Structure 1
Amino acid sequence: MTAHVFKVVLDRQPTDDELDALFAAGCDDAAFGSENGLPIGEFDREAETMADAIASAVRELDGVGLIALRVVDQDLVTLADVADRIGQSRESVRRYATGDRGPGTFPPPVNPAREGTSFYRWSEIAPWIRQHLKIDAPESDPALIVANLVLQARQHRERVAHMEALADLLAA
């Protein structure tokens, strides 16, 4: 087994009774506190995979009534973040994004219709950078990305008519 380290943003701070219940259930591999004003659970969990580690932590949190809102990741980035990560100027990266430089086909922003700052997914940009710029760009952990999608879907599932149709897409 491997130790997987990750942080989970919670819906609220756990009470003392909830902390005791988590510890009694075997959740002795987590520390709870706040980070930038957000309630956080930081896990150092032994599991076969990151996905197994996250799923077991979320189940234990569910068991005491806490809601995991998201797993902290570094996947959502601005062009300035991309420039910092690859050691190029912001203008250079902006020109890749607009197609004024490089081969084009730069991954689109996740918020294309919004005015102001555009956000991109590092998990989409890193492969483009490796392929077209021949720069080593580390991968995002796909388990963190999928975990966040699942946690977001859990938050909205009661408000989506015929949620089963969308859940079947994940199983397909």
Structure 2
Amino acid sequence: MPEWSFTLLLNQPFTPEQADEFSQCDAFADGSAAFVLGPRKPEQYPVRSDESELKKLICDVEAPTLLDAVAQMARNIQLIPGLRGVGALMEDKVALEEAAQRCDRSYESLVQLSQEDEHFPEPLNPDTEGTVFYSWLHIADYLRRLGDDVPHTPRELVIADRTLRLVEDLRGTDVQPGVLRALGLP
């Protein structure tokens, strides 16, 4: 089963109590998700954490499809009281394995292109001995120049993101079910 890498956007940063709940929750025991916890008293630090970074759940999930993976994490995060998914995205920084998953090429094909084509995008971290990362936008643009039909964002991720955002926008609003059906929702 493929492993999908994406970021689930959360409605708020983790509190220390939610972080404790997360660490004890069986749904996350497999290490498929991680987050950054801000300091307990941020006012005591001269450099503030970027709150948008604290509202991200970094996910690597095994699932049949990307949409299934996002849905699984959106459901699981609700096990932590007060947290919910409000959007989804894929970061620009990718390893070639993840880039291959986002396009119709194999990992081997991308490795070969990276080694043999001088126009292949340069790595973001060329001097590292660990995992080499690239810009997905640069790889996608390069593949388009080769004639590949490569979207900037996979359609399944667009659907997941828009659905999570719509559900969040509908929270607390008084929209009649008939209106939602008239708009094409079940």
Instruction: Give the TM-score, by structure 1 length.
Output: 0.55
1:43 counterpart letter in structure 2? C
The one of 72, 80, 89 equivalent to 1:56 is 72
SS of the residue 2:36 aligns to: strand
Gap runs ≥5 in structure 1:
75-125
Shift in CA distance, 21/58, structure 1 to aligned 2, threshold 3 Å: same
Q: Which has the higher strand share?
A: 1
With a CA cutoff of 8 Å and minimum separation of 6, indicate the structure with the bigger relative contact order. 2
1:152 aligns with 2:165: yes
1:20 aligns with 2:36: no
Percent identical pairs in the alignment equals 23
Gap runs ≥5 in structure 2:
38-48, 92-139
1:63 counterpart letter in structure 2? L
| Pairing of 1:157-168 with structure 2 (within 5 A) | 157=170, 158-166=172-180
* Runs of 4+ that moved beyond 4 A: none
Separation in structure 2 between the aligned mates of residue 161 and residue 32 of structure 1, nearest angstrom: 33
Separation in structure 2 between the aligned mates of residue 167 and residue 153 of structure 1, nearest angstrom: 14
1:136 counterpart letter in structure 2? D
| Pairing of 1:2-21 with structure 2 (within 5 A) | 2-21=2-21
Shift in CA distance, 153/36, structure 1 to aligned 2, threshold 3 Å: same
Counting matched residue pairs gives 116
2:2 counterpart letter in structure 1? T
Shift in CA distance, 144/164, structure 1 to aligned 2, threshold 3 Å: farther
Shift in CA distance, 69/138, structure 1 to aligned 2, threshold 3 Å: same
Aligned-residue Cα RMSD (Å) equals: 3.0
